[in-house]
Structure 1
């Protein structure tokens, strides 16, 4: 890798192709990147390989087969594919493919695969993830002003509960890190070409977050909300085939926490009806137990968050299927049947509950 750094420095010195205007517009603060030609640094601070990097990334194979396998694993992870971490893992896979196709041999392919694999592994396990972007050896910071915008959006509480804002934000972060890699290899013009994608992602994220916030404020301003039903995908709440509190996914906890905040604003006379459903796979008795257990687990979780309304928790097994799927491949069939695996939470006033009971 040191030889590659030397070759890069020499090539830049001899060609004189460094786009200095683009470099200045990128707002680069990394002194090692600002130096070009034969005076460029080649030490660890400038991104030379160290033992920690070797231990973390050297074993990663940047092959098409590796990327295809990782993509298949991500597709099978529980939760909504458009949430922050699913989207971020997907964009890291896309970044790795782009770099590989461009014959980028500087280590970014391995780093991108490593980031995607780490997120995918934790999504599959249902463990918590940090939204903080790691420092990567082959990535320098560019456009600090855009990073400030990213951090401002991420700090807005509306984004946590606003899925439409999450995917464009996550992918904008990855794209800006790709631009940082372009800058690290002194391809300043290519780094600049990524910025419109970054800005558009941030615009979409901020706009979606604003819309979610306005919708939430509008809903909370209603003095007496009408009876409502909320459908939560079981795959977003629980690990596959899981039903107890330990099986609740981090994203599921966020959804239930937000729901609990809203429910505590409602009158205590309202009744909460929690109904669990499964897909058609498995026998009827098992599906009924699974759906009932999930409904009761959701009830207990909401109780721990201070919800005091009367609750009716029940399971309906595979009743009321939302989609009908016929895929021969089991994994594809399971993904197709996801809308049937759900928990429906209905909030009704006392009169509505009485009428429902009479029927």
Structure 2
């Protein structure tokens, strides 16, 4: 694994960007993003705002006030301020500030604030966090090769044992996401401007992890058990079904591009989990519609997630089940069905729980 980190350090140091054909170099795979002029789609699949997005981010009435409040809360947190999640929250705040100062009114400012707020609230309350990167409406995937490097570094045990390597890794993820936003709004040249900092942060993360390994003088047996990776600080990962699957879809063909990205990151995290664990994958639906149909759909989605993780290298024992509308996270009583469906969105989910393996 150390050899792999060394290769990444050299590869990142040698990476350079030319000044032409920015869109092609970004490695964009989203077909809707490559369409321009007449015939270019303007629907929700292409990133058009929907009522669910408005409902989630409408409370952010003043981005400047929200950013000041978040920065104050983050600064007041006790304990290690250089950890993975603290750094990630700070980088989300910085990304929101940059986009706001640039006059970006596409929704990324609100989404970045939302991500920083989610992390900060969890750090304040001591609740589990997932290191998986979110699927955001205003972001498309760029430079899949760099995302592969992100996941490779994140899954290396050396990074988990090296706190100094985690902040640049976290910020590289946010910066690469911000580049994806610039590409989403078809500003391909601006997207590329983020890449040198992404590469520098990834190089720092890999170099620091190597330095940490080289500085260890005592045998591993004398050091006690290694601390769990930041990605595994949680025992349960909850994935929103609406961001994983197309509407009413549950097989692998129905997995959205953003859903595949989430599952890829979850798989990367889970491949570092010791073999003494197993996974319980549970699908849930909302209470709308036929109960038997919802039960079947929730079960199909859980089994699809199980198969996806298996085919992407997760070797832990797994069980998958569907619970239909059981264990709702929210209880909504709206009269209008469209509003009710949006309100019930948190109940449509797939939970991946890490438990100790049964003897």
With structure 1 as the length reference, what TM-score do the two structures score?
Answer: 0.55
Hey, what's the Cα distance between the residues in 2 that align with 1:65 and 1:191? 27
CA RMSD, Structure 1 to Structure 2 (Å): 2.4
Q: What displacement does 1:63 show?
A: 2.6
SS in 2 for 1:219: coil
Q: For residue 155 of structure 2, what is the aligned residue in structure 1?
A: 155
Q: Which runs of 5+ in 1 are unaligned?
A: 1-18, 226-249, 252-359
- For residues 157 and 47 of structure 1, do their structure 2 counterparts lie closer, same or farther at Cα, with a shift above 3 Å needed? same
- What are the Cα deviations for residues 304-324 of structure 1, in whole angstroms up to 9, with x where unaligned? xxxxxxxxxxxxxxxxxxxxx
Hey, what's the Cα distance between the residues in 2 that align with 1:224 and 1:130? 30
Equivalent residue pairs, number: 210
Alignment pair present for 1:175 and 2:175: yes
- What are the Cα deviations for residues 73-111 of structure 1, in whole angstroms up to 9, with x where unaligned? 111123311110000000000000011111100000000
- What are the Cα deviations for residues 202-233 of structure 1, in whole angstroms up to 9, with x where unaligned? 000011111122233x3217x989xxxxxxxx
Hey, what's the Cα distance between the residues in 1 that align with 2:82 and 2:38? 45
Q: What displacement does 1:54 show?
A: 1.7
Assess if the C-alpha contact under 8 Å between 2:122 and 2:129 holds in 1: yes
Alignment of 1:222-301 (within 5 A): none
- What are the Cα deviations for residues 24-44 of structure 1, in whole angstroms up to 9, with x where unaligned? 000000111111123221111
Assess if the C-alpha contact under 8 Å between 1:92 and 1:115 holds in 2: yes
Alignment pair present for 1:138 and 2:138: yes
Hey, what's the Cα distance between the residues in 1 that align with 2:195 and 2:67? 25
Hey, what's the Cα distance between the residues in 2 that align with 1:91 and 1:143? 20
SS in 1 for 2:82: coil
Assess if the C-alpha contact under 8 Å between 1:62 and 1:100 holds in 2: no
Q: What displacement does 1:67 show?
A: 0.6
Q: What displacement does 1:60 show?
A: 1.4
Q: For residue 185 of structure 1, what is the aligned residue in structure 2?
A: 185
- Between 30-39 and 86-95, the greater mean CA deviation after superposition: 30-39
Assess if the C-alpha contact under 8 Å between 2:63 and 2:110 holds in 1: no
Assess if the C-alpha contact under 8 Å between 1:61 and 1:110 holds in 2: no
Assess if the C-alpha contact under 8 Å between 1:78 and 1:123 holds in 2: no
Q: What displacement does 1:62 show?
A: 4.3
Hey, what's the Cα distance between the residues in 2 that align with 1:224 and 1:98? 46
Alignment pair present for 1:213 and 2:208: no
- Between 44-53 and 89-98, the greater mean CA deviation after superposition: 44-53
Hey, what's the Cα distance between the residues in 1 that align with 2:32 and 2:92? 25
Hey, what's the Cα distance between the residues in 2 that align with 1:139 and 1:152? 22
Hey, what's the Cα distance between the residues in 2 that align with 1:181 and 1:61? 21
With structure 2 as the length reference, what TM-score do the two structures score?
Answer: 0.55
SS in 2 for 1:39: coil
> Which structure has the bigger radius of gyration?
1
Alignment pair present for 1:84 and 2:79: no
Q: Which runs of 5+ in 2 are unaligned?
A: 1-18, 224-232, 235-359
